[in-house]
Amino acid sequence: MTRGKIAKRILVTNDDGIYAPGIKVLEQVAQELAEEVWTVAPEVNHSGAGHSLTIKRPLRVHELSEQRYAVDGTPTDAVLLGLQSIVPRPVDLVLSGVNRGGNLGEDVTYSGTVAAAMEATLLDVPAIALSQCLRNGHPVKWSTAERHAPDVIRQLVRAGWGKGVLINVNFPDRVANAVQGVQVVRQGRSKLGDHLVERIDPRGEPYIWIGGLKYDEGDDIGTDRGAVRAGAIAVTPIHLDMTHHAELARLISTLASSSEN
């Protein structure tokens, strides 16, 4: 392997679409890390798509340039087609992002960025989701992700992580030189709800637009939200097995006791 490279082949994807600025940042990052970089991403923005799979219509793949493809489907579709059909095997790493906006706390359940990494993980390929936090009305600090992502990815690949686990990385809304290190933290939990905008369309029909998420600004030390708020890069391992094992054991015991009575 070429000196300085950590992978032979990396697949880059996202949920903001093939023409989004964040995927261009991630492609540049991947070029530093791999001998080959392949991009397979949705044609258009699929933010909030979650881990959705297109099964009621055929998918079309368009080759935009060498080793760069657009899929007229979801981020999950793009990774599935990329790993199973488009990109030569083996793929050493899947990088998803860089998302425009953080994927923190409960965001990960909606996020197409995280879902793309989830699909790769289900296919036994290590995956990292990367997002750049922002403030509405302010320019996105893409240079922060561009500067710090290569080192963070190198450190993660060197450390490794378990099967069935993906890594979620969030860069703070800080200029690159103001980043306060890296924190390995748990997923936060602070969602209160969504901002719902209710209006009437030109034909007099009511509609509702789901806006941004609302969050509790309470104590979040040791979480992804707390880390980026402190200006640090948040690294969170996410396990695909969502079983609550303590509750599993309790229910087994409870139901077993009930059946005996």
CATH code, domain with 47: 3.40.1210.10
Number of structural domains in the chain: 1
Residue 195 lies in a domain: no
Q: For the packed helices 142-159 and 21-33, what is the interaxial angle rounded to 10 degrees?
A: 40
Kindly state the DSSP code that residue 86 receives in the 8-state scheme: I
In total, the chain counts a number of residues equal to: 261
User: Quick check: is 225 in a domain?
Assistant: yes
- C-alpha closest to that of 125 among 99, 150, 96, 148: 96
Residue 207 lies in a domain: no
List the domain range (segments joined by +) for residue 110.
7-188+218-260
Sign of CA dihedral 102, 103, 106, 110: positive
Residue 52's Cβ-side half-sphere holds a number of Cα atoms within 13 Å equal to: 14
Q: Which amino acid is at 8?
A: K
Residue 83 lies in a domain: yes
Q: What is the mean pLDDT of each run of 10 residues along the chain (261 residues)?
A: 87 98 98 98 92 96 98 98 97 98 92 97 98 94 98 98 97 98 91 76 89 64 94 97 94 84 62
Residue 10 φ/ψ region, left for φ over 0, alpha for ψ in the -120 to 50 degree band, beta for the rest: beta
